[in-house]
Amino acid sequence: MDVRARDAAGVGVPVRRAVTLLLVALLAGCTATPPAPKPSAGPPAPPAPPPAGGQQPFGAHWDPNRHQQFEPYLRSISGSATYHELTWCEVEKEKGRPDWSDVDRVAERTRALGITLNLKIRVGMCWATDGTAEHVRGQAGKTESAMPRDLAAYASFVDGVVRRYAAYGVPTYAVENEVNSQSYWSGSAADYERLVTTAARAIRAADPKAKVADSGISSVGYGFGVVDRLLRDGKEADAVAAYRAYFARRIGTRGQQIPDASDAARLRTALATDADRRHVEFLAVTEKLLADKVVDVRQVHYYEPFDGVPALLDYLRARTPQGTPVQAWEVGQFWRDGEGDDVRRSQEMVKTVAQLVAGGLGPVMWLPLAYNPDNKQGSEVRYGLLDPDGKTRLAGTVFAALASEARGASVEVVSGKGLTGVAFRKGGASALVVWASGGPVKVPAADGLTAAVLGSGEPKAGAVEVGEAPVLIRTPRAPAEVLATVRG
């Protein structure tokens, strides 16, 4: 969807959700353009059935090895989207002998759930590249990606991916992941631009309907982009405020990479490190690829507090070409000391995803669906909607409720009279998910109007006082008509 679709007041304007999914592509060699890749052989897959119950913008990413534990919950968010990451070096550990079985299993199971699958295509580091891995992550031993030695061979691999999974209904392919981090991409920004150009050409040749997404700059990287833009525009006070809101839970967690900054001078110092300059450099390359239409879809990652979302949306509106779909493939909570506070964390989840969807992003995919208790942090730094064993938490219940309200609905912004949130309109009725941005706000009783704090029980008729906790209001009227009855 286009994040620019708003009226001057930002109230009650339908936002067209582009739940069109996109994936990644390729082109260009080191010194010469490689030939168009030949179609790869493989067993044909049956066509993908339509998602059950209609499309909706709220999805999640989960560990495919725990599919059986998560399947009951995943059926409750059918019509959503997810993604899976595949790596050339893992699929084709021995040159010329690809093994698609793991990815096939994910594609088959996702399709059976009525969930749309998107793919991230990464290179990794192996026989197909130069170099030795310096960043090895997780039990699977994932590494950073390096530039392929042979771009024609890379194009052929991408061609094989797209031709195989188009039959499963994959709409979008992303090229690499968070290339602004050296733990994911060892090459330069120029290398990445050449890789994406190569991949995009191969993707479109294999499936003209497919879309290409960028790598998804990291949540931290987007934060530095937000602040750098404000400083360049001479808005020093706004830049400091945005930095402190966006990085409220990050400051001091990475040594001096994200230091506190109480004024513009300290903020400029914070932006002067090599790592932070890399964030801004790769954002610029991403935006060039979007402007040049090499990439179709902008991919956003966001793990910060909900009150950092407005600054992110402002940045996206200013730096994204008109009409470009923006999708949030990774949304979650980075919160080191948040364990045990499920009510507050679930409320923050609602405020984050509601603002993103109202801001024109879609799909919005929560990560992780359930955290891995064996992670290296030793704690739940990123909050899951489910317990590790698949038991649904309050956040999972509320997330499924949002999905139900949004399924097959149009989306409108709710902003005004002290209320913030999103509205879903379907068949003439409206479901508003709102909270008070200042003090409590009273919404008067009206015919057909019911309300309840999300996750607290069935909505009841009568006037409702909206506070910090998100409230679900159902009404036969338009959102703007409801706001008109509120005395600000």
Task: Write the CATH number for 190.
Answer: 3.20.20.80
Q: Coil, strand or helix: which one is 436?
A: strand
Counted residue by residue, the chain has a size of 488
Q: Are residues 202 and 113 in the same domain?
A: yes
Domain boundary among 406, 434, 463: 406
Please check whether residue 437 lies inside any domain of the structure. Answer: yes
Distance between CA atoms of residues 24 and 242, nearest Å: 32
Q: Are residues 433 and 293 in the same domain?
A: no
Q: Are residues 142 and 85 in the same domain?
A: yes
Query: 45 vs 162, 163, 334, CA distance in Å?
Result: 12, 10, 38
Q: What is the pLDDT of residue 270?
A: 84
Angle 104-171-189 from CA coordinates, rounded to 5°? 95
- 276 touches 224 (CB < 8 A): yes
Please check whether residue 102 lies inside any domain of the structure. Answer: yes
Q: Are residues 271 and 307 in the same domain?
A: yes
Domain boundary among 366, 382, 406: 406
Q: Are residues 175 and 197 in the same domain?
A: yes
Q: What is the pLDDT of residue 259?
A: 86
User: 473 lies in which domain range?
Assistant: 410-484
Q: Are residues 213 and 291 in the same domain?
A: yes
Q: What is the pLDDT of residue 273?
A: 87
87: left (phi over 0), alpha (psi -120 to 50) or beta: beta
Q: What is the DSSP letter of 317?
A: H
Go through 377-402 and write b for each residue having 16 or more CB atoms within 10 A of its CB, e for each that does not.
Answer: eeebbbbbbbebebebbbbbebbbbb
Distance between CA atoms of residues 300 and 107, nearest Å: 23
Q: What is the pLDDT of residue 176?
A: 98
Q: Are residues 22 and 163 in the same domain?
A: yes
- 316 touches 326 (CB < 8 A): yes
Q: What is the pLDDT of residue 33?
A: 43
Please check whether residue 420 lies inside any domain of the structure. Answer: yes
Q: Are residues 95 and 202 in the same domain?
A: yes
Q: Are residues 65 and 202 in the same domain?
A: yes
The set of residues, in sequence order, having a beta carbon less than 8 Å from that of 323 and lying 6+ positions away, is: 2
Q: Are residues 310 and 365 in the same domain?
A: yes
- 212 touches 294 (CB < 8 A): yes
Please check whether residue 142 lies inside any domain of the structure. Answer: yes
Please check whether residue 122 lies inside any domain of the structure. Answer: yes
Domain boundary among 406, 441, 474: 406
Q: What is the pLDDT of residue 238?
A: 95
Q: What is the pLDDT of residue 101?
A: 97
The domain that holds 417 is classified in CATH as 2.60.40.1180
Paired tokens of 162? 């797209």
Look up tokens 């912004």; give the residue: 413
Q: Which amino acid is at 178?
A: E
Q: Are residues 375 and 395 in the same domain?
A: yes
Distance between CA atoms of residues 270 and 397, nearest Å: 40
Please check whether residue 236 lies inside any domain of the structure. Answer: no
Please check whether residue 123 lies inside any domain of the structure. Answer: yes
Paired tokens of 470? 């998100």
Q: What is the pLDDT of residue 42?
A: 54
Q: What is the pLDDT of residue 133?
A: 67
Q: Are residues 342 and 361 in the same domain?
A: yes
Paired tokens of 246? 């966006």
Please check whether residue 73 lies inside any domain of the structure. Answer: yes
Domain count, the chain: 2
Residues β-bridged to residue 122: 87
**Mean pLDDT for back-to-back runs of 10 residues, the chain (488 residues):** 42 36 32 42 50 81 94 96 97 96 97 97 96 68 92 98 97 98 95 98 98 98 96 95 93 75 91 90 98 98 96 97 98 81 93 98 97 73 92 96 96 96 96 95 96 90 96 96 90
